[in-house]
Amino acid sequence: MKRALYFMLVALLVLSGCKSSRIVDQIQIIHAMGYDVKNGKYTGTAIYPTFKQGPMTKPDILTTESSTTYDLIPRLSSKSALPIEEGQIRLVLFGQQFAKQGIAEIVHSLARNNKVGSHLQLAVSKGDAEELLRITAETTLSDTLYLSNLIEQNIREMNLPKTNLHIFLYNYFGKGRDPFLPYLEKKGDTVKLEGLALFKYGHYVGRIDLRKSFLVKLLLDETKNGVYQLPISQNEKKGRVLLENLFAHSHYSLKKGSSPVIDIHLRIRASIRDYPMWLDLSGQRSFQKVSEQMEKKLNQDITNLLSFFQKKGVDPLGIGDFVRSKTRHWDEEAFYKQYRHLQIRPHVKVDIVQTGIGE
């Protein structure tokens, strides 16, 4: 019995000795990483917290350049007095010029890195990623996670579709779909979310604004958040209403044939968050007329958005993947040759469930 207890004690001591612990103020914990290309060379920028007395932290910046992307982090280490820790990276930001050349190398590297979580956020910046990270370091005082929190908050509460490294990889490697990322832009001394960056074969090919991003969010998944402004008219008066989404569900159907047709049925339950004082919503007839105007405008906006995607040759909604699921021996190359001319018809139904506290 004593012999067994002895061996158990030795085993516990050995196992406890194998545990790797790192003291937080003895390492550089990178929270965001930026990639740019300038004058034929790649630039890497890291933002990390420096710990002061007590809980206070201050964002700081490391930057380096190289002829390849593979050794940017090792080169950052050569400029740091402390070991660099990648396990807490929450955002990887690509400069627009870098994204145009392609982000496949970085994405593949992130996918292979077992220190990086799949919920890591990726984004594209208008201009250089370094500039946006420096603005964050200089203006957000102690918040090194400002940009990743900005993205996540807009996914939860506003118009941004769900996105992270896991979703990007699914869209990138999946057949019949193309990835997208949040698009950030400098506005004065701050950074603002401006919409979605669109990708084809890992290359940035264009963008849509935040208003259209809400339509993508509606068409992609069931959503409970977001706002959308619509024009409205009544008795020769014109104005705008702000529609707040409470719940939306989309359903796709395919009519096969020599000229296939895809119908997208979108059901939205929403409240009118704000509207002109002259708009009368008390009567059922006027209420129905307002709903019909909203449906007509949303159908028009979605049709224009789908047309834009088709002209660009990008498929962020996964239309090709949907057709593949309904078609035997689906050919991706053949499908995207006719994708630009494919007939896609939206059918929007809006149910107004609230018109404000006064109604």
pLDDT at 98 over 90: yes
The structure tokens listed for 168 are 């990007």
Residue among 72, 75, 78, 76 nearest 60 (CA): 76
Q: Which of 51-60, 176-185, 209-218, 256-265 has the lowest mean pLDDT?
A: 51-60
pLDDT digits (tens, 9 = 90+) for 299-331: 999 999 999 999 999 999 999 999 999 998 999
Number of H helices, E strands in the chain: 11, 14
User: What is the per-residue pLDDT for 189?
Assistant: 84
> Quick check: 265 pLDDT over 60?
yes
- DSSP class of residue 75 equals H
3-state secondary structure of 158: coil
Contact 43, 130 (CB under 8 A): yes
pLDDT exceeds 70 at position 75:
yes
Q: 51 pLDDT exceeds 70?
A: no
User: Where would I find the H helices in 174-283?
Assistant: 210-220
Of residues 84 and 276, which shows the higher confidence score? Answer: 276
Q: Residue 21: pLDDT above 60? A: no
pLDDT at 56: 57
pLDDT higher than 70, residue 272: yes
Would you state the pLDDT for residue 94? 98
Query: Is it the case that residue 154 has pLDDT exceeding 90?
Result: yes
Going along the chain from its start, the domains and CATH numbers come out as 24-211 (no CATH), 222-354 (3.30.300.210)
Contacts of 319 (CB under 8 A, 6+ apart): 176, 262, 339, 342, 344
- Per-residue buried b or exposed e for 229-246, using 16+ beta carbons within 10 Å of the residue's own CB: ebebebeeeeeebebebb
At residue 194, the 3 state secondary structure works out as strand
Percent of the chain with pLDDT over 90: 50
For residue 71, pLDDT beyond 90: no
Summarize the confidence of residues 81-92 as an average pLDDT.
77
**Mean pLDDT lowest for which of 76-85, 159-168, 237-246?**
76-85
Residue with tokens 């946006």: 132
Environment class of 173 (CB within 10 Å of its CB; exposed 0-12, middle 13-18, buried 19+): exposed
CA distance 95 to 104: 14
Per-position b or e across 77-91, b if 16+ CB within 10 A of its CB: beeeeeebbeebbbb
Structural contact between residues 57 and 51, judged by C-beta atoms closer than 8 angstroms: yes
Supply the pTM of this predicted model.
0.87
Phi and psi at 332, nearest 5°, equal -65, -45
Q: Is the dihedral of CA 105, 106, 108, 113 positive or negative?
A: positive
Dihedral, CA atoms, 116, 118, 124, 130, nearest 10 degrees?
-20
* Distance between CA atoms of residues 125 and 182, nearest Å: 9
